[in-house]
Structure 1
Amino acid sequence: MASVEGRGRARSCEGKRTPAAMASPGGLRRLLWCVAIVVLFYGAEFGAAWKEAEFRKCHQSKFCKDVRERAAAWARGESHREIEVREISLKDGRVAARLVPAGNEDEALVLELSTYRDGIVRVKVVEETAPRKRFEVPQVVVNDFEEKRLGIGSIGRRDGASVVQLSGGFEVVIQHKPFQVQVKRGDDLVLSINSKNLFDIQHLQVKKEGDDWEDSFRSHNDKRPHGPQTVSFDVSFHGSDHVYGIPERATSFALKPTKGANINSEPYRLFNLDVFEYLDESPFGLYGSIPVMVSHSKKRTVGFFLLNAAEMQIDVLAPGWEQVGIEQVSDESSSGKRSTGQNEEKRVDTHWIAESGVFDAFLFVGPSPKDVVAQYCSVTGTSAIPQLFSTAYHQCRWNYKDEADVAGVDAGFDEHDIPYDTIWLDIEHTDGKKYFTWDKNLFPNPKEMQNKIGAKGRHMVTIVDPHVKRDDNFPLHKEASSYGYYVKDSSGKDFDGWCWPGASSYLDMLSPEVRSWWATKFSYSNYVGSTPILYIWNDMNEPSVFNGPETTMPKDAIHYGGVEHRDLHNAYGYYYHMASVQGLYQRERGTDRPFVLSRAFFAGTQKIGAIWTGDNTADWGHIRVSVPMLLTLGMTGIANAGADVGGFFGNPDPEMLTRWYQLGTYYPFFRGHGHLDTKRREPWLFGEPYTSLMRQAISARYQILPYVYTLFKEASVTGIPLVRPLWMEFPEDESTFTRDDEFLLGPSLLVHGVYSEGAKSEKVYFPGNETWYDVKSGATFPGGKEVEIPVTLDSGIPVYQRAGSIIPKKLRHRRSSTQMQNDPYTLVVALDSKYEAEGELYIDDGKSYEFEQGAFIHRRFKFAKGKLTSTNLAPTKSNPKKFTSSCLVERIVIMGVRARDLVTGKHAVVESEDRWIQTDIGAPSLIQGAYSSALILRLPNVRIADDWSIKLG
Structure 2
Amino acid sequence: MITTQPQGVTPPIRLLGVALLFSTFFLPALSVDRSNFKTCDQSSFCKRQRKLEPGSSPYRAVLGSAKLSADKLEIQLIDDKNQVSLLLEVFGLNGNMTRIKINEINPLKPRYEVPDVLLGTPIPANLQVTGQDDNTLELSLGGAEHKLLVTGTPFRLDILSGRDLVLSVNSRGLLHFERLRERKDTDTEKTDVPPEGDDGNPGEEEATKEEESKKVDEDEPGMWDETFKTHTDTKPNGPSSVGLDFSLPGFEHVYGIPEHADNLRLRTTESTDPYRLYNLDVFQYELYNTMALYGSVPLLLAHNVQRTLGIFWLNAAETWVDISSNTAGKTLLGKMFQYIHGGGETPQTDVRWMSESGIIDVFVLLGPTPHDVFKQYASLTGTQSLPPYFSLGYHQCRWNYNDEDDVRNVDAGFDEHDLPYDVIWLDIEHADGKRYFTWDPHKFPTPKDMLSNLKDKRRKMVAIVDPHIKIDSGYRIHNEIRSRGFYVKNKDGGDYEGWCWPGSAAYPDFTNPEMRAWWSSMFAYDQYEGSTENLFVWNDMNEPSVFNGPEVTMHKDAIHWGGWEHRDIHNLYGLYVQKATADGLIQRSGGKERPFVLTRAFFAGSQRYGAVWTGDNAAEWDHLKISIPMCLSLSLVGISFCGADVGGFFKNPETELLVRWYQAGAYQPFFRAHAHLDTPRREPWLHGDDNLKLIREVLQQRYALLPFWYTEFYRAWRDAEPVMRPLWVEFPTDVSTFAMDDQYMIGSALLVHPVTEANSRGVQIYLPGVGEVFYDVHSYQKYEAPQSFYLPVTSSSIPVYQRGGTIIPRKNRPRRSSDCMHDDPFTLHVALNLQGEARGELFIDDGHSFNYEQNEFLYREFNYSRGELKSSSLDPRGNFETSSWLERVIIIGASQPTSVTLSLLGGSETPLEFEYDAHTSVITVRKPGVNIAADFTISLR
TM-score by length of 1: 0.91
> Per-residue CA shift, 1:146-196, capped at 9, x if unaligned?
3x2223354532673222223371222222222112221111111121111
Aligned partners of 1:659 and 1:115: how far apart in 2? Answer: 49
Q: Are positions 1:888 and 2:881 aligned together?
A: no
Question: Equivalent of 1:201, from 177, 199, 209?
Answer: 177
1:157 matched to 2:129: no
Distance 1:614 1:724, change over 3 A: same
Instruction: Indicate the residue corresponding to 1:506 in structure 2.
Output: 507
Structure 2: distance between partners of 1:176 and 1:828: 60
Deviation at 1:579, TM superposition (A): 0.6
1:473–1:333: structure 2 CA closer, same or farther, 3 Å change rule? farther
Q: 1:257 aligns with which of 245, 263, 268?
A: 268
Matched to 1:886, the amino acid is: S
User: Structure 2: how far apart are the matches of 1:159 and 1:316?
Assistant: 33
Q: Select 1:241's aligned residue among 249, 252, 264.
A: 252
Which of 905, 911, 914 is residue 916 of structure 1 equivalent to? 911
Deviation at 1:5, TM superposition (A): 4.8
Counterpart CA distance in 1 for 2:375 and 2:900 is 44
Task: Give the match's secondary structure for 2:47.
Answer: helix
Separation of aligned partners in 2, 1:541 and 1:650: 24
Distance in 1, matches of 2:576 and 2:115, equals 10
Answer yes or no: is 1:53 the counterpart of 2:35. Answer: yes
Deviation at 1:320, TM superposition (A): 11
Native 8 Å contact 2:113 2:315 kept in 1: yes
Q: 1:103 Cα shift? A: 5.1
Cα pair 1:338 1:347 within 8 Å, conserved: no
Query: Is the alpha carbon distance of 1:20 and 1:808 closer, same or farther for their aligned partners in structure 2, counting shifts above 3 Å?
Result: farther
User: Residue in 2 aligned with 1:296?
Assistant: 303
Which amino acid in the other structure matches residue 194 of structure 1?
Answer: N
Give the whole-Å Cα distance in 2 for the aligned partners of 1:538 and 1:458.
20
Q: Where in structure 2 are the equivalents of 1:658-677 lying within 5 Å? A: 658-677=659-678
Counterpart secondary structure, 2:350? strand
Partner residue of 2:230? 219
- What is the match of residue 97 of structure 1? 75
Amino acid at match of 2:932: I
Match in the other structure for 2:116: 139
Find the aligned partners of 1:281 and 1:508 in 2 and give their Cα distance: 34
Q: Specify the SS of the correspondent of 2:391.
A: helix
> Is 1:636 the counterpart of 2:611 in the alignment?
no
Residues 529 and 350 of structure 1: CA distance in aligned 2, closer, same or farther (over 3 Å): same
- TM-superposition CA deviations, 1:310-337 (whole Å, max 9, x none): 001111113599xxxxxxxxxx9999x9
2:827 aligned counterpart, secondary structure:
strand
1:93 and 1:153 in contact (8 A); partners too: no
> What's the counterpart of residue 952 of structure 1?
940
| 1:432–1:439 contact (8 Å) kept in structure 2 | yes
Matched, 1:88 2:66: yes
Structure-2 residue corresponding to 1:176: 152
Aligned 8 A contact 1:242 1:338 in 2: no
Deviations 1:855-876 (A, max 9, x none): 0000000000100000101134
Asked if 1:807 corresponds to 2:808, the answer is: yes
TM-superposition CA deviations, 1:41-87 (whole Å, max 9, x none): xxx99832111111110111110111101x22x53x7xx62333431
Amino acid in the other structure paired with 1:291? P
**1:731-742 mapped onto 2 (5 Å cutoff):** 731-742=732-743
Residue equivalent to 1:456? 457
> CA-to-partner distance for each residue in 1:416-442, whole Å, 9 max, x for gaps?
101000000000000000000000100
3-state SS in 2 of match to 1:797: coil
Query: How far apart, in 2, do the equivalents of 1:132 and 1:206 lie?
Result: 10
- Opposite residue 913 of structure 1, the aligned amino acid is S
- Structure 1: gaps spanning 5 or more residues: 14-18, 38-43, 322-331, 924-930
Three-state SS of the structure 2 residue aligned to 1:204 is coil
Query: In the alignment, which residue of structure 2 is the partner of 1:277?
Result: 284
| Partners of 1:125 and 1:810 in 2: CA distance | 53
Aligned to 1:16: none
In terms of mean alpha carbon deviation, does 482-491 or 529-538 score higher? 482-491
2:129–2:137: 8 Å Cα contact kept in structure 1? no
For residues 750 and 111 of structure 2, what CA distance do their matches in structure 1 show? 46
Q: Which residue of 1 aligns with 2:202?
A: none
SS in 2 for 1:715: helix
Q: Deviations over 1:88-126 (max 9, x none)?
A: 121353111111112543x11111111222111111111
CA distance in 2, matches of 1:45, 1:641: 26
Per-residue CA deviations over 1:239-292 (Å, capped at 9, x if unaligned) read 111110100001011101110xxxx11110000000121112222110000001
Q: How many angstroms apart in 2 are the aligned matches of 1:530 and 1:168?
A: 57
Instruction: Give how far 1:921 is off.
Output: 2.3
C-alpha separation in 1, matches of 2:629 and 2:331 = 17
Identity across matched positions, percent: 44
Question: Any conservation in 2 of the 1:599–1:614 contact (CA below 8 Å)?
Answer: yes
Deviates more, 1:672-681 or 1:906-915: 906-915
1:941 is paired with a residue of what secondary structure? coil
Distance in 1, Cα, partners of 2:828 & 2:887: 9
Equivalents in 1 of 2:280, 2:274: separation in Å? 16
Q: What is the match of residue 4 of structure 1?
A: 4
1:909 deviates by: 3.7
1:746 aligns with 2:721: no
Q: Residue 941 in 1 paired to residue 929 in 2? A: yes
Contact kept? 1:21, 1:33, Cα under 8 Å: no
Distance 2:678 2:159 in 1: 53
Q: Please tell me whether the aligned partners of residues 140 and 603 of structure 1 are also in contact (alpha carbons under 8 angstroms).
A: yes
The superposition leaves residues 607-648 of structure 1 with CA deviations (integer Å, 9 ceiling, x where unpaired) of 111111101111110111111111110111101111111111
SS at match of 1:567: helix
Report the AA paired with residue 579 of structure 2.
Answer: M
Kindly report which structure 2 residues correspond to 1:448-847, keeping only aligned pairs within 5 A, or say none.
448-769=449-770, 770-794=772-796, 796-847=797-848
1:649: how far off? 0.7
Q: Distance in 2 between matches of 1:609 and 1:155?
A: 45
Separation of aligned partners in 2, 1:334 and 1:494: 56
| Whole-angstrom CA distance in 1 between matches of 2:335 and 2:452 | 58
Would the aligned equivalents of 2:335 and 2:344 in 1 still touch at CA under 8 Å? no
Rounded Cα–Cα distance in structure 1 between residues aligned with 2:396 and 2:139: 54
CA offset at residue 785 of structure 1? Answer: 1.4
Matches of 1:20 and 1:314, distance apart in 2:
40
Q: Is the 8 A contact 1:258 1:333 kept in 2?
A: no
Q: Name the CA distance, whole Å, in 2 between partners of 1:549 and 1:468.
A: 19
Report what 2:195 is aligned to.
Answer: none
Contact preservation (8 Å) 1:265, 1:333: no
Q: Secondary structure at the match of 2:116?
A: coil
Q: 1:665 to 1:45 in 2, by over 3 A?
A: closer
Count of residue pairs the alignment pairs up: 893
What's the TM-score, normalizing by structure 2? 0.92
Alpha-carbon distance in 1 for matches of 2:594, 2:335? 45
Say whether the 8 Å CA contact 1:839–1:860 is kept in structure 2: yes
SS at match of 1:787: strand
Tell me the distance in 2 between the aligned counterparts of 1:513 and 1:137: 18
- Separation in structure 2 between the aligned mates of residue 860 and residue 92 of structure 1, nearest angstrom: 42
Structure 1 pair 219/186, CA: closer, same or farther in 2 (3 Å)? Answer: same
SS at match of 2:925: strand
What's the offset of the Cα at 1:913? 3.4
Aligned-partner SS, 2:424: strand
Q: Aligned in 2, Cα 1:426/1:67: closer, same or farther, shift over 3 Å?
A: same
